[in-house]
Structure 1
Amino acid sequence: MAYNYPELCLVIGETRITAEQRQTRPVIDPATGQVIAELPIATEADIRAAAEAAALAYQDWRRTSSHQRQAILRAAAAKLRERREELAWTITTEQGKPLAEARGEIDASAETLEWFADEARRAYGRIIPSRFPGHRQLVEIEPVGPVAAFAPWNFPLINGLRKVAPALAAGCTVVLKPAEETPGATMIAVECLREAGLPAGVLNVLYGEPAQISDALIKAPEIRKVSFTGSVSVGQSLAALAGRHGKRATMELGGHAPVIILDDVDVDQVATLAAAGKFRNAGQVCNGATRFYVQRGIYDRFLAGFAERAGRVVVGDGRVDGTQMGPLANDRRVTAMEGFVADARKRGGGVIGGERIGNVGNFFQPTILHDLDPAAEAYHVEPFGPLALVAPFDSEEEALARANDSNVGLSSFVFTESARRQRRMIDGIQAGLVGVNTFQVAFPETPFGGIKESGFGHEGGAEGLEPYLAKKFVHIAG
């Protein structure tokens, strides 16, 4: 069933600014290349007004009880579920992923709202025994203040809500800038939160020129916390800007995840899991697997099995039944894939797949690069697309050295049936997330974050609420 794409607008306090009131940019369906909506672009005055609206609403929202905040977030989660099919169609239409994957994103988003709704009531201060008779020493917690949040396009709904949910649960207000390519899902989420009772100004939404918005918001005196998910280069620039202005920051900056496959596994089973994990969301997953290191004794069998399964992935419009992989979200990713493949061929590497599909939409074949020169571009730049690298190794030490040979460290994966080998791999891997015999490492109740240039801070889990809380020490004498 098709739905109407939501009306797009800037949300600033009680004001909604539509495309008729501002300059616009088109929103493109990645499967057809057609324009599906016009997006209003925020002015400097709009950005300033959004920061001021968040600051004004913060005065009341910070005093709203955790019980009330919990009730609003839980009600919003229920409303997301009520609109599940409409939301799934919207996500697929603007981003490309198959409807089944979009539904999974909605379910995880609702669970994220529920997790942080309840976590708001588990945020405690503490009493510290005093060294002085009759004195009391307390650590109180309070919200850090208005938040500037920046979310990317690969998961249009949950990327924003993983920032909004803990911020609202903690008592912070938010100015959210989602990706301009995928604004529709956010519009529906805003409606769900408003219908659940969220006051005006607590969540504001801006679209426009990303550099202009991020620069103005981070510099705005009203903003006290920054949260960003995106590329390493942009994240480092925003973190530096936040530091210059004394703003707290959480940075989730992507990865280039290695997969170590040892020779005691069921090769066919791992090849099946690898294809499903690698080509989910057309490989546009920051913690998704990209570099597959396979012990030499099973290397040929794994490569053949992986390639066979990649070749069977059904690529097409995500709204069509039976589609297993949709288009890339924008044409920039298609150009990037073509560049990685051309570089691999130039260096004499093996290429399985590697071609654009058709001349309408951003479709690209599930692709495997193998036996590749270690200097190849794809080894050193996150592909962020349906492209996997496969290489053999001999010893565990070699596998760890190659896995850790990266400037990023978000996620890593290990496949082995030996408990001792698992322990050695876990101890040796340099990453914030480790999956053992699974590619699933992200849940609402677990911390999500990386090391090295993958950023700092966590989203999800009990750790996800902490960046939005400030601690205040109180010493009462007598």
Structure 2
Amino acid sequence: MDKLLYINGSWTGNDLEKIEVYNPANGEVVGTVPSCGKDETNAAIDAAHDAFSQWSKLTAYERADYLMKLYDLMMEEKDELAELMTLEMGKPLKESAGEVVYAASFIKWYAEEGKRVYGRTIPSSGQNKRMQVLKQPVGVVAAITPWNFPAAMITRKLGPALAAGCTFIVKPPKETPLTAIKLVELADKAGFPKGVINLVTGASSIIGKAIMDSEKVRKVTFTGSTEIGKKLIEQSAATVKNVSMELGGHAPAIVLDDADLKKAVAGVVASKFRNAGQTCICINRVYVQENVYDEFVELVAAEAKKLKVGNGLEEGTDIGPIINKDGFEKIAEHVENAVSNGAECVIGGKGTAENGAYYYEPTVLKNVNQDMLIMNEETFGPVIPIHKITSIEEGIQLGNKSPFGLAAYVYTESLSKGTQVVEGLDYGIIGWNDGVPSAAQAPFGGMKESGLGREGGIEGMEAYLETKYVSYVL
């Protein structure tokens, strides 16, 4: 499965060195993509820049028609997209199918939301003076996306950018470029004008530098680690680019003693074990009040035992492979550190590494404390560490004990207690009795070192618009 770059409406890159794409379930090569350099990246930037003048002049209704064609094609070919995603990323096929529908929802939502980009008229103090606010597209957008949600992390940026009138360049990760290429193939089939959407693959350092150095790229939207996000923010200063950053997380869940434990366990399991724990908003640490601690641990362990680990293409698989060796070793390190410092492994605690494929068992740890690595670093794996607390105040204090502030969760049936926790936690997203809070129509993003800006909802559209104030005298 050899794939190419997509620049100015043409597939190119046959003559370039190739990067192999591996199936994390078995280590087999499932495709190759070109490793492009500065010249190809600049060609994509030029194409997007040249296309901007015409694309931005189309009406919101005309742009919506293109987006709805893309949405329809994604839904028609959702099975092929899902299988491709599982092949290169490893998540269970049922999760991949769910992601395709989720990814497509951003295209549909912003096809409609683009029609509601409103300016306003401001009352003036002078009879012969008029004051207006206009909303206009920011310009050429470059998106750098992660491997864990190969479709949704593109469409969450692509949908609002195109609806706003921006043109787009996407640089997918080396681990999962095939899903991105398939999406662009569908966009090509939908008939988007040349240069409106472009795709480049290759070394992040080379492509990223060309993007950050270019004055033609007016916005960079990135999902990935806080470490890389900080570097991009620094680099953006040279040309004062508009940036959106969805960075690392370390999500706490607080389970109070009046929680519906059945609901709490279902939410924690759904959040933690989805995508083998390789999600930016999955629960990383659980704080449970002492009165229900033992029962909660028992119930979570019972549910975790039911989960099947294996190849995502095999029927019945609940937890697929870990993306690579580095991810696998970090999970093992966190579990070993916790156990060596007094935590008890209730279930799991083991992994396998064979022929380039890495799997880790669903794991539940109890009697953890705040000095352990797993309570201070994002694990990105199928491990639930559970810490006992005595009060709401302690839960809030420990929950906020992190430089990150992406997502947090609370389980309580009390309106008063829930409100206290929600208002006390310094996080951009909070699930109250909800382990899966993400939706196209809702804002997604974090506080503190978890990022800048929001994606999704009306806030996600604003991220791709400039505000222009006009004052004129009659």
TM-score normalised to structure 1 length: 0.96
The counterpart of 1:369, out of the listed 361, 365, 371, is 365
Q: Contact (CA 8 Å) 1:31, 1:362: kept in 2 or not?
A: yes
Once residues 131 and 365 of structure 2 are traced to their aligned partners in structure 1, the CA distance between those partners, rounded to angstroms, is: 60
Aligned to 2:380: 384
Once residues 399 and 62 of structure 2 are traced to their aligned partners in structure 1, the CA distance between those partners, rounded to angstroms, is: 46
Alignment of 1:108-119 (within 5 A): 108-119=102-113
The counterpart of 1:287, out of the listed 275, 278, 281, is 281
Partner letter of residue 440 of structure 2? P
Q: Secondary structure at the match of 1:147?
A: strand
Q: Secondary structure at the match of 1:465?
A: helix
Q: Contact (CA 8 Å) 1:258, 1:292: kept in 2 or not?
A: yes
Report how many residues are paired: 472
1:172 corresponds to 2:166: yes
Once residues 41 and 195 of structure 1 are traced to their aligned partners in structure 2, the CA distance between those partners, rounded to angstroms, is: 24
Once residues 277 and 163 of structure 1 are traced to their aligned partners in structure 2, the CA distance between those partners, rounded to angstroms, is: 23
Once residues 332 and 156 of structure 1 are traced to their aligned partners in structure 2, the CA distance between those partners, rounded to angstroms, is: 19
Q: Contact (CA 8 Å) 1:30, 1:327: kept in 2 or not?
A: yes
Q: Contact (CA 8 Å) 1:98, 1:319: kept in 2 or not?
A: yes
| Cα deviations by residue, 1:157-196 (Å, 9 ceiling, x for unpaired) | 0101111111101110111111111111111111211222
Instruction: Give unmatched runs, 5+ long, in structure 2.
Output: none
The counterpart of 1:212, out of the listed 202, 206, 228, is 206
| Cα deviations by residue, 1:318-349 (Å, 9 ceiling, x for unpaired) | 11111111111222211111111222233232
Aligned to 2:352: 357
Partner letter of residue 179 of structure 2? A
| Cα deviations by residue, 1:400-431 (Å, 9 ceiling, x for unpaired) | 10001000011110101111111111111110
The counterpart of 2:66, out of the listed 72, 96, 99, is 72
1:58 corresponds to 2:44: no
Q: Secondary structure at the match of 2:431?
A: strand
Partner letter of residue 12 of structure 2? I
The counterpart of 1:335, out of the listed 329, 340, 349, is 329
1:14 corresponds to 2:13: no
The counterpart of 2:28, out of the listed 31, 34, 46, is 34
Aligned to 2:236: 242
Once residues 128 and 33 of structure 1 are traced to their aligned partners in structure 2, the CA distance between those partners, rounded to angstroms, is: 61
Alignment of 1:112-191 (within 5 A): 112-191=106-185
Q: Contact (CA 8 Å) 1:444, 1:461: kept in 2 or not?
A: yes
Partner letter of residue 451 of structure 1? M
Once residues 236 and 440 of structure 2 are traced to their aligned partners in structure 1, the CA distance between those partners, rounded to angstroms, is: 26
The alignment-based identity, stated in percent, is 37
Aligned to 1:105: 99
Alignment of 1:458-477 (within 5 A): 458-477=454-473
Q: Secondary structure at the match of 1:473?
A: strand
Please report how far the alpha carbon of residue 369 of structure 1 lies from its aligned counterpart in structure 2 after TM superposition.
2.7
Once residues 362 and 39 of structure 1 are traced to their aligned partners in structure 2, the CA distance between those partners, rounded to angstroms, is: 23
Partner letter of residue 358 of structure 2? N
Partner letter of residue 190 of structure 1? V
TM-score normalised to structure 2 length: 0.97
Q: Secondary structure at the match of 1:102?
A: helix
Please report how far the alpha carbon of residue 134 of structure 1 lies from its aligned counterpart in structure 2 after TM superposition.
2.1
The counterpart of 1:444, out of the listed 422, 434, 440, is 440
Aligned to 1:410: 406
| Cα deviations by residue, 1:235-255 (Å, 9 ceiling, x for unpaired) | 111112113320010000021
| Cα deviations by residue, 1:255-288 (Å, 9 ceiling, x for unpaired) | 1110000111232442233222210000011011
Alignment of 1:260-275 (within 5 A): 260-275=254-269
Aligned to 1:302: 296
Partner letter of residue 354 of structure 1? G
Once residues 168 and 101 of structure 2 are traced to their aligned partners in structure 1, the CA distance between those partners, rounded to angstroms, is: 23
Q: Secondary structure at the match of 2:360?
A: coil
Does 445-454 or 373-382 show the bigger shift? 373-382
1:276 corresponds to 2:270: yes
Aligned to 1:257: 251
Once residues 324 and 156 of structure 1 are traced to their aligned partners in structure 2, the CA distance between those partners, rounded to angstroms, is: 19
Once residues 305 and 241 of structure 1 are traced to their aligned partners in structure 2, the CA distance between those partners, rounded to angstroms, is: 48
Q: Contact (CA 8 Å) 1:259, 1:413: kept in 2 or not?
A: yes
- Residues 170 and 269 from structure 1, CA distance in 2 versus in 1: closer, same or farther, beyond 3 angstroms? closer
| Cα deviations by residue, 1:450-473 (Å, 9 ceiling, x for unpaired) | 101001100000000111111111
Instruction: Give unmatched runs, 5+ long, in structure 1.
Output: none
Q: Contact (CA 8 Å) 1:13, 1:204: kept in 2 or not?
A: yes
Please report how far the alpha carbon of residue 71 of structure 1 lies from its aligned counterpart in structure 2 after TM superposition.
0.6
The counterpart of 1:398, out of the listed 372, 389, 394, is 394
Partner letter of residue 401 of structure 2? D
Q: Contact (CA 8 Å) 1:8, 1:183: kept in 2 or not?
A: no
Once residues 297 and 275 of structure 1 are traced to their aligned partners in structure 2, the CA distance between those partners, rounded to angstroms, is: 20
Q: Secondary structure at the match of 2:220?
A: strand
C-alpha RMSD of the superposition: 1.3
Provide runs of 4+ in structure 1 moved above 6 Å.
none
Please report how far the alpha carbon of residue 25 of structure 1 lies from its aligned counterpart in structure 2 after TM superposition.
1.6
Please report how far the alpha carbon of residue 358 of structure 1 lies from its aligned counterpart in structure 2 after TM superposition.
5.7
The counterpart of 1:455, out of the listed 431, 451, 458, is 451
Once residues 430 and 43 of structure 1 are traced to their aligned partners in structure 2, the CA distance between those partners, rounded to angstroms, is: 40
Partner letter of residue 97 of structure 1? K
Q: Secondary structure at the match of 1:276?
A: helix
Once residues 280 and 214 of structure 1 are traced to their aligned partners in structure 2, the CA distance between those partners, rounded to angstroms, is: 30
Q: Secondary structure at the match of 2:358?
A: coil
